């Protein structure tokens, strides 16, 4: 049997046999006796038992160690040696077959561009022509992930200024990648859009400056990038009239609720909280004349004043404002 | 010349992944992917095709059924491969990040329960060891769009094009729904036309499955990119440097010239007439539109037009 078995075949036979033995495991004696490819008769006494401490035993043990190393490093198949029972046992798989199948299905549907895993890893063998969703990952995501994992500060150039930053979390909002964390110079939580970090100056890790993520850090809140969630203006509830065809888009844009009393008028009224007046004004301009702010008066004034000033129509601007 | 064990492993691992993840592939295609000749790969595969022997008790130990090579040279796999089933080592951090992003996105776009994906994603989060927050937009019409595609039926939509002020009713023959650049699109043919077009799913104000049956083509490719350069609109402005942060997205900024008074001069480019109008309005009144001159006029007239929407509204402070 051993004569025609290559080292590769022997290693696969070993994996299959260990799987076959299950949680009971198998001794070196058993493995080298039954797995095709090992010298079955070497180092055994007259009863067929492998004699420990002999040169043949040592050779078999070394071959076994090498084969197990190959299984671990190339195939991720790991067998522990139980010192008490003197048996080799496979460690349980990291993913169940169903979990792996689910991940492969996800990888086939969602193509993640910008991260190339090594060949043979789960999800690397799918055809990228069948993916229905393509997500582009920014080039800095991998390095920032490493820094978060190591709790190591980084420096980068953002809008012409070098900043030191403690990265806590990565995330996307409306198709763009951000990093959230603590800015020790400004002593505040900050978010930076990765495509505004100057990649040509590279991201540098500040070794020897470890940090801890503060307990109160909330990743969901950190990536709530709607200006009306984080803005500092006095909270007001806006009511806005919307032409019916633009209702969905306004609701989506502002997380607005539709007012019940507007049904059937051809123009709906929505309401939403405003914490950032200027950003709200600018976002409303995307809907042109299909929206009109109804209340509160302060927001109405802001819209009117701005439009009047831009139009050069000073007569339309209210006195005293 | 015989392949080294390491080279053989490398090739087998790649081929095994490809076949498990695509169910069946021609041997020649696999060989090309790993840089081997077809006969050489065929030889290398023997090691995994024929794991078959008797144990001490005379029981047959066999694992050959998970990986089949047909007579016409197609490698296939009926179920998951036993070698991959045994893998106890977690994926590398890089692979885990890739899988986590695809897994989390899949969770967001799937309507059915995904217990296996959920548990896999939990494990991946542990490996990635960094909070990852993926924002996935799922337009309300998407499930109806997918339903129509699945049933090979037409799709009735009320659609609002980007450059229109009113929606139109359309009957579409839906071919493929896909998401790229942060938006969902539908490749579909208008029932009255012959050429497929791309429709933004989030611009479908209403959608329902129609009654027209049709045979979709076998293969509908997702566009690599859209050439939108003809829609580029560029304005040169003088504005406060800090104001650039709050410009409406998306836009592209050109190189800035510091004017020394806290302001900068630069080109700002957006796509389409609607977006340039919005951008011009978002500039502060004392910002300057340097060029082209017609944009300065457009800014004034557009502002004046919107201002009429506030005619008749009570002035602030009035009761």
Q: What percent of chain B has pLDDT over 70?
A: 91
> Contact, A137 vs B128, CB < 8 A?
no
Q: Which residues of A touch B145 (CB under 8 A)?
A: none
Which of B131, B176, B178 is nearest residue A219 as measured by Cβ atoms?
B131
Q: Which residues of B touch A105 (CB under 8 A)?
A: 106, 117
Q: Which residues of B touch A230 (CB under 8 A)?
A: none
**pLDDT score recorded for residue A175:** 83
Of the given ranges (A95-104, A236-245, A298-307, B216-225), which has the lowest mean pLDDT? B216-225
Q: Which residues of A touch B149 (CB under 8 A)?
A: none
B91 with A121: Cβ contact below 8 A: yes
Q: What is the mean pLDDT of residues A84-105?
A: 94
B128 with A145: Cβ contact below 8 A: yes
**What average pLDDT is seen over chain B?**
87
Q: What is the mean pLDDT of residues A190-218?
A: 86
Selected residues 63-122 of chain B with any CB under 8 Å from a CB in chain A: 63, 79-80, 82-95, 97-99, 101-103, 105-106, 109, 114, 116-117, 119-120
**pLDDT score recorded for residue A314:** 47
Which of A119, A129, A289 is nearest residue B305 as measured by Cβ atoms?
A289
From B93's Cα to the closest Cα of chain A, the distance in A is 9
DSSP for residue B216? -
pLDDT band at A320 (very low <50, low <70, confident <90, very high): very low
The verdict on whether omega for the bond into residue B292 sits within 30 degrees of 0, i.e. cis, is yes
Of the given ranges (A58-62, A264-268, B194-198), which has the lowest mean pLDDT? A264-268
The number of C-beta contacts closer than 8 angstroms across A and B is 358
Kindly list the distances between the CA atom of residue A22 and the CA atoms of A29, A32, A71, A312, B90, in Å, as whole numbers in the listed order.
16, 17, 17, 83, 20
CB of B28 within 8 Å of a chain A CB? The answer is no
B101 with A75: Cβ contact below 8 A: no
**What average pLDDT is seen over chain A?**
88
Q: HSE-up of B230 (CA within 13 Å, CB side)?
A: 2
CB of B198 within 8 Å of a chain A CB? The answer is no
pLDDT beyond 70 at B57 = no
Query: What is the per-residue pLDDT across A254-302, written as a single tens digit (0 to 9) for each?
Result: 999 998 655 566 689 999 999 999 999 999 999 999 999 999 999 999 9
Tokens representing residue A284 in the block: 């409303």
pLDDT beyond 80 at B140 = yes
Q: Which residues of A touch B278 (CB under 8 A)?
A: 282, 285-286, 288
Query: What is the per-residue pLDDT across B91-113, written as a single tens digit (0 to 9) for each?
Result: 998 999 999 999 999 998 888 89
**pLDDT score recorded for residue B58:** 63
Which of A131, A285, A297 is nearest residue B281 as measured by Cβ atoms?
A285
From B194's Cα to the closest Cα of chain A, the distance in A is 23
ipTM of the complex: 0.85
Structural element, H or E, at residue B33: helix B27-33
CB of B271 within 8 Å of a chain A CB? The answer is no
CB of B305 within 8 Å of a chain A CB? The answer is yes
Which of B63, B106, B177 is nearest residue A110 as measured by Cβ atoms?
B106
pLDDT beyond 80 at B172 = yes
pLDDT beyond 80 at B53 = no
Tokens representing residue B207 in the block: 């959608």
Q: What percent of chain A has pLDDT over 90?
A: 57
Q: Which of A13, A101, A241, A135 is nearest to B102 (CA)?
A: A135
> Contact, A259 vs A268, CB < 8 A?
yes
Distance CA A164, CA A154 (A): 6
> Contact, B235 vs B291, CB < 8 A?
yes
Which of A95, A97, A172 is nearest residue B134 as measured by Cβ atoms?
A172
**pLDDT score recorded for residue B56:** 58
DSSP for residue B297? H
pLDDT beyond 80 at B226 = no
Q: Which residues of B touch A316 (CB under 8 A)?
A: 307, 310
Q: What percent of chain B has pLDDT over 90?
A: 53
DSSP for residue A234? P
How many angstroms from the chain centroid is the CA of residue B78?
Answer: 29
Chain A: residue whose CA lies nearest to B159:
A245
* Helical residues (DSSP H) of chain A, grouped into ranges: 7-21, 28-34, 55-75, 97-109, 141-150, 219-222, 227-230, 247-254, 277-284, 297-311
**pLDDT score recorded for residue A56:** 92
**pLDDT score recorded for residue B318:** 42
Q: What is the mean pLDDT of residues B28-45?
A: 90
């Amino acid at each position: 049997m051993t004569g025609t078995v290559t080292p590769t075949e022997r290693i696969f036979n070993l994996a299959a046999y260990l799987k076959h033995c299950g949680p009971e495991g198998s001794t070196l004696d058993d493995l080298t006796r039954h797995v095709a490819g090992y010298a079955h008769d070497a180092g055994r006494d007259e009863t067929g038992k492998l004699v420990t401490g002999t040169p043949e035993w040592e050779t078999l043990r070394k071959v076994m160690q090498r084969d197990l190393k190959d299984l671990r490093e190339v195939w991720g198949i790991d067998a522990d040696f139980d010192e008490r029972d003197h048996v080799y046992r496979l460690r349980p798989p990291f993913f169940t077959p169903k979990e792996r199948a689910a991940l492969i299905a996800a990888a086939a549907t969602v193509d993640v561009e910008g991260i190339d895993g090594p060949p043979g890893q789960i999800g690397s063998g799918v055809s990228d022509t069948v993916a229905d969703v393509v997500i582009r990952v920014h080039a800095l995501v991998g390095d920032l992930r490493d820094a978060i994992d190591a709790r190591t500060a980084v420096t980068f150039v953002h809008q012409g200024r070098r900043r030191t930053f403690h990265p806590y979390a990565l995330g996307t909002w409306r198709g763009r990648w951000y990093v959230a964390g603590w800015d020790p110079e400004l002593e505040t939580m900050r978010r930076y859009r990765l495509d505004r970090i100057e990649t040509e100056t590279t991201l540098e890790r500040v070794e020897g400056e470890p940090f801890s993520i503060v307990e109160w850090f909330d990743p969901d809140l950190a990536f709530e990038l709607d200006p009306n969630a984080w803005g500092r203006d006095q909270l007001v509830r806006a009511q806005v009239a919307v032409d019916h065809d633009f209702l969905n888009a306004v609701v989506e844009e502002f997380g607005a609720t539709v007012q019940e009393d507007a049904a059937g008028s051809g123009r709906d009224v929505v309401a939403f909280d405003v914490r950032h007046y200027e950003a709200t004004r600018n976002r409303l301009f995307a809907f042109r004349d299909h929206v009109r702010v109804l209340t509160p008066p302060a927001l109405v004034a802001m819209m009117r004043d701005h439009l009047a000033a831009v139009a050069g129509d000073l007569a339309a601007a209210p006195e005293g404002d | 010349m015989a392949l080294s064990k390491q080279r053989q492993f490398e090739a087998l691992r790649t081929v095994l992944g490809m076949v498990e993840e695509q169910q069946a592939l021609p041997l020649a295609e696999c060989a090309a992917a790993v840089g081997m000749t077809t006969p050489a790969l065929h030889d290398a595969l023997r090691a995994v095709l024929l794991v078959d022997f008797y144990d001490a008790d005379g029981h047959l130990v066999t694992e050959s059924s998970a990986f089949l090579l047909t007579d016409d040279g197609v490698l296939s796999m009926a179920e998951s491969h036993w070698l991959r089933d045994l893998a106890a080592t977690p994926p590398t951090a890089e692979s885990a990040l890739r899988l986590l992003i695809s897994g989390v996105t899949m969770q967001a776009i799937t309507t059915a329960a995904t217990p296996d994906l959920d548990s896999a994603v939990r494990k991946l989060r542990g490996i990635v060891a960094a909070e990852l927050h993926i924002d996935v937009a799922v337009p309300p019409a998407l499930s109806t769009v997918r339903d129509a595609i699945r049933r090979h039926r037409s799709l009735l939509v009320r659609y609002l094009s980007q450059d229109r002020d009113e929606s139109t009713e359309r009957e579409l023959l839906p071919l493929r729904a896909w998401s790229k650049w942060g938006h969902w699109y539908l490749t579909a043919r208008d029932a009255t036309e012959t050429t497929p077009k791309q429709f933004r799913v989030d611009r479908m104000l209403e959608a329902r499955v129609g009654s027209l049956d049709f045979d979709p083509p076998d293969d509908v490719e997702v566009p690599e990119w859209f050439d939108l350069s003809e829609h580029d609109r560029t304005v040169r402005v003088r504005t406060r440097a800090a104001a650039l942060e709050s410009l409406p997205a998306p836009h592209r900024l050109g190189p800035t010239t510091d004017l020394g008074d806290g302001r900068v001069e630069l080109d700002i480019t957006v796509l389409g007439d609607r977006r340039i109008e919005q951008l011009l309005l978002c500039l502060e009144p004392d910002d300057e539109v340097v060029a082209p001159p017609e944009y300065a006029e457009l800014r004034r007239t557009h502002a004046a037009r919107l201002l009429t929407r506030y005619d008749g509204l009570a002035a602030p402070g009035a009761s």
